[in-house]
Amino acid sequence: MTRPVSDHAEGRPEDWAAPGAALVRSAATDVVPPLADLGRVHIMGIAGSGMSALARILLERGVPVSGCEARDSITVSGLRAIGAQVHIGHATEHVDACDTFVYTTAINPKHEEFAYARSSGKPVLRRAAALACALEDKRTIAISGTHGKTSTTSLLTVAAQACGIDPSFAIGGNLYETGKNAHLGTGDLAIVEADESDGSFLLTRPVAAVITNVEADHLENHGDLEGIFRAFEQFVDRIDPSGFVLACADDAGARRIADYARGTGLRVITYGEDAGADVVVSGIEPSGSGVRFTVASAHGGREVSVGSLIGGHMALNATAALVMAGEFGLDLEVVLRTFAQFGGVHRRFESHGTGGGVRVFDDYAHHPTEVAAQLSAAKGLLNGQERLIGVFQPGTYSRTQTFAREFADAMAIADIAVVMDIFPAREEPIPGVTGASISDLIDLPAEQVIYEPSYDKVPERIAAVARPGDLVLTMGIGNVYLLCDEIRAACSGALPEPADS
């Protein structure tokens, strides 16, 4: 069934009039057309993690793909190398040359190219709808939750590959093992990161799903926490009746959705440190640059070691991947060896080297729970004399306004807290909401809190307080990671090096 051109997925143009307007309709109402009906696809913001993953799979399907980006980058070069036509800069002419336009809700609805696409009469699809097209003949495992999706999806993917299965996958970060964030596999299995932020996970029809946790986030789209729970319940309703849900017993939100799933007749498996879980995690401790722990179930216990991921939250993510691997019949001895050698994921506690004795890491953490978890895990790597310098770039005005106190409490875990100004993404400014909305609330001595609204001055501000042995951790959804090389160089006393885009 094809989409009627008078009823685009993103809603009527007037529904997008307000700055930062929320989605008007649930993604569950979106039509997913057959892959054969897409024609030439244009992807706005094609170098984004989710969009570049979609582009790779569509190209491997033989679909002509064009796209546009604000600047050149390694990702743009990689997409061009596999056949995508990528424009630098946005223009309405890009829409004229395509048959189907693909967007994410990270795009401001008032953007000229996006607005033109909505008025063109051509099909306008969310990224998730286009991905559902591309994977229309696959059995899908969907990894969902407010936090932990990328790491869990990545671990399950490399485990399946190591066991000789060639799954399709779509992940919100590049795997170090392959350098890819997506692939069209030869097997019938697809492992996908299912995004709840705009309800896009409601376009999947999985045979099995992970729910890592459910918390308040993306309230600009869901309204409130109850709206988020309703979306997760709709997600459960889309799981194959013969399938199952794997949910974290340690998280109240995930437990609530697990209870809902049981009520629908679905099989539910739980995991976590909670003694009542079906799979119990215990003995979590650092292991070099990774984490080590034990899992136990009715089928026995196993020692697990995971490389390149730190913290108790990562032990839970790895457990979810391990249990799912077992459910799909993967060789668990191979899976465990693969986990121990795991190389990591781009922007998940990613090392950017050392300068002047100062170690620099970066992470995608952008919710208070994630920021607190990453800072706590990083602090566990330090001895008594070493200090943790947390650098946070808030993402979106609405999230900053809603969670300012929670962000401040999380940043107080660091020994020195550096807060940048807000990366706006799709939003218009909210008067009075800045990075200082967070920094002013951090409960640390004044000399241990730095608010630096100038992006370019952040490296020198960090270098002025850092000393050998310190660990710097940058966090956020925006472009803070581009400063890592400059921070390292500033700490070493060298001239800033060009940031790799």
Query: Helix crossing, 127-134 with 49-60: angle to 10°?
Result: 30
Q: Which of 150, 152, 338, 396 is catalytic?
A: 150
Q: In what order do the strands lie in the sheet with 65-69?
A: 85-88, 65-69, 41-44, 100-103, 124-126
* 8 A C-beta contact, residue 154 and residue 175: yes
Across all residues in the chain, what is the average pLDDT?
Answer: 89
Sort 382 into a burial class: Cβ within 10 Å, 0-12 / 13-18 / 19+. middle
What is the average per-residue pLDDT within 229-233? 93
Q: Which residues face 390 on adjacent strands?
A: 417, 473
- List the helix and strand counts (H, then E) for the chain: 16, 21
Q: Say which residue, 453 or 178, is predicted with more confidence.
A: 453
Q: Which residues face 27 on adjacent strands?
A: none
pLDDT digits (tens, 9 = 90+) for 84-116: 999 999 999 999 999 999 998 778 888 999 999
Kindly list the structural domains of the chain, giving each domain's residue range(s) and its CATH number in brackets, ordered by start: 13-132 (3.40.50.720), 137-340 (3.40.1190.10), 350-492 (3.90.190.20)
pLDDT recorded at residue 464: 97
Q: Is 90 exceeded by the pLDDT of residue 41?
A: yes
Q: Is 70 exceeded by the pLDDT of residue 3?
A: no
Could you give the CA distance from residue 234 to residue 237 in angstroms, rounded to a whole number? Answer: 5
pLDDT digits (tens, 9 = 90+) for 369-409: 999 999 999 998 898 889 999 999 999 999 999 999 999 99
Helix, strand, coil % in the chain, rounded to nearest 5? 35, 20, 40
Q: Is 60 exceeded by the pLDDT of residue 10?
A: no
Question: What's the N-to-C CA distance of the chain in angstroms?
Answer: 40
What is the DSSP code (8-state) at residue 345?
B
Q: Which range has highest mean pLDDT (85-99, 166-180, 208-222, 418-432)?
A: 85-99
Backbone φ and ψ for 132, nearest 5 degrees, come out as -60, -35
**How many C-alpha atoms does 335 have within 13 Å on its Cβ side?**
25
Position 218 confidence tier, pLDDT thresholds 50, 70, 90? low
pTM over 0.95: no
Is the Cα torsion angle 462, 285, 170, 278 positive or negative in sign? negative
**Residue 150 annotated as catalytic:** yes
Q: Is 60 exceeded by the pLDDT of residue 2?
A: no
Q: Is 70 exceeded by the pLDDT of residue 152?
A: yes
**Residue 149 annotated as catalytic:** yes
Q: Which of 149, 152, 204, 486 is catalytic?
A: 149
Percent of the chain with pLDDT over 70: 91
Q: Which of 10, 69, 113, 193 is catalytic?
A: 193
pLDDT recorded at residue 177: 67
pLDDT digits (tens, 9 = 90+) for 323-374: 999 999 999 999 999 999 998 788 889 999 999 999 999 999 999 999 999 9
* Residue 375 CA: distances (Å) to CA of 371, 411, 439, 472: 6, 8, 16, 10
Q: Is 50 exceeded by the pLDDT of residue 24?
A: no
Position 456 confidence tier, pLDDT thresholds 50, 70, 90? very high
Q: Is 80 exceeded by the pLDDT of residue 18?
A: no
Could you give the CA distance from residue 113 to residue 470 in angstroms, rounded to a whole number? Answer: 45
* H/E segment holding residue 248: strand 244-248
Secondary structure of residue 142 in the 3-state scheme: strand
Backbone φ and ψ for 484, nearest 5 degrees, come out as -60, -45
* 8 A C-beta contact, residue 339 and residue 318: yes
Pairing assessment for the beta strands 279-287 and 267-272 based on DSSP bridges: parallel
Could you give the CA distance from residue 301 to residue 135 in angstroms, rounded to a whole number? Answer: 35
Percent of the chain with pLDDT over 90: 76
